[in-house]
Amino acid sequence: MFETEVRAALRDLPLGGLRVFQSIGSTNDEGLAWASEGAADGSLVVADEQTSGRGRSGRPWYTPPSAALALSFVLRASEEAGAQAGRLAGLGALALTEACAGLGLSSNIKWPNDILVRDRKVGGVLVESAWEGNVLGASIVGIGLNVLRASVPPPGEVLFPATCLEAEIGRPVDRMPVLRAVVSAFLRWREKLAGSEFLRTWESRLSFVGGSVVLTRDGQVPLTGTLAGLESDGGLRLRVGDQTVVVRVGELHLRPTNDRIA
Ligand code: BT5
């Protein structure tokens, strides 16, 4: 049973609470609902399958049964946490790169929220806010990771080439140790969220640093520049001509300009 396996894999980790589903619409929706019911800080939702998993701007996120990891953390807002909100996509991304490293796979972060192995997307992060009136009640950090081959969407259905751990490693991978690795790395890096080591490590794992990239925002003129690094709040620094432009996490898509993506 999926739930029994998940509970065993995460047994001794310091979670605020744990809800496990065989199938669900979206773990982020469950996280948002749980936050409004008073979920404790650090609560976690895990599902075997999502029937309406989503990415940014309502784009679909494909999570068929028995093949992927789909999880969402509920992080209670505090004044201090509010100041770090721009770093939460990085937190999910660092947890994923660490889980990949544990399997001997080198991965990079395509800012703000994609995890790439050999320039193909293996996972993604979706941060959403749970509002209580006009006050931020909690942040929901959703994480999706393609583990087995069945988790990879058909090429016609994705904007960016996709892959999974099994294809990259060349053998089937057991999801439970990977789930544990993602959750423990997330909890570990969360402790360091406000510090400079967090920012340095996140920056060191970014794709395309020093390279020419184009940033497009839905309905706006694309911005081309050299990817220079991260701002302290998680924003991306670009050099455009002799100017430095800072882009905050929003509805953005980033690609290298010499598009070496098949
Ligand atoms: C993301 O959005 O990459 C964020 C994905 C977050 C998913 C997690 S799963 C747990 C939690 N619950 C949810 O409902 N969501 C979160 P974005 O950068 O907007 O990328 C979305 C695009 O990725 C889609 O438009 C597709 O082109 C592509 N895509 C969809 N499913 C994919 C998959 N399994 N692997 C690789 N690419 C995929």
* Ligand 1 centroid from CA 48, angstroms: 15
| Residue 124 alpha carbon, nearest atom of ligand 1 | 3
Is 158 near ligand 1, meaning CB less than 6 Å away? yes
Beta-strand pair 243-247/252-256 = unpaired
Residue 250 has pLDDT above 90, yes or no: no
Q: Which residues of 203-225 are buried (b: 16+ CB within 10 A; e: fewer)?
A: bebbbbbeeebebeeeeeeebeb
Whether omega before 112 lies within 30 degrees of 0, making that bond cis, reads yes
Pocket perturbation via mutation, ligand 1, pick of 30, 52, 59, 61 by most ligand atoms within 8 A of CB: 61
Residue 80 has pLDDT above 90, yes or no: no
Helices 175-191 and 2-9, packing angle to 10 deg = 40
Q: What is the distance, to the nearest Å, from the Cα of residue 136 to the centroid of all Cα atoms in its chain? A: 20
Stated pTM of the model:
0.94
| Residue 56 alpha carbon, nearest atom of ligand 1 | 19
Would you state the structure tokens that stand for residue 22, as one six-digit string? 């065989």
> Residue with the nearest Cα to atom 37 of ligand 1?
162
| Residue 26 alpha carbon, nearest atom of ligand 1 | 14
Inter-residue contact 203 to 209 (CB < 8 Å): yes
Count the residues in the chain: 262
Residues 172 and 30: their CA atoms lie apart, in Å, by: 29
Q: Which residues of 140-172 are buried (b: 16+ CB within 10 A; e: fewer)?
A: bbbbbbbbbeebbeeeeeeeeebbbbbbbeeee
At 120 the three-state DSSP class reads strand
Inter-residue contact 16 to 43 (CB < 8 Å): yes
* Ligand 1 centroid from CA 185, angstroms: 20
* Ligand 1 centroid from CA 232, angstroms: 26
* Ligand 1 centroid from CA 61, angstroms: 4
* Ligand 1 centroid from CA 243, angstroms: 33
Closest CA to 212 of 200, 194, 226, 198: 226
Mean per-residue pLDDT, 18-41:
97
Residues 101 and 181: their CA atoms lie apart, in Å, by: 10
**Each residue of 88-131: pLDDT tens digit?**
999 999 999 999 999 999 999 999 899 999 999 999 999 998 88
* Ligand 1 centroid from CA 249, angstroms: 16
Sorting pLDDT into bands at 50, 70 and 90, what band is 207?
very high
- What is the reported pLDDT for 215? 87
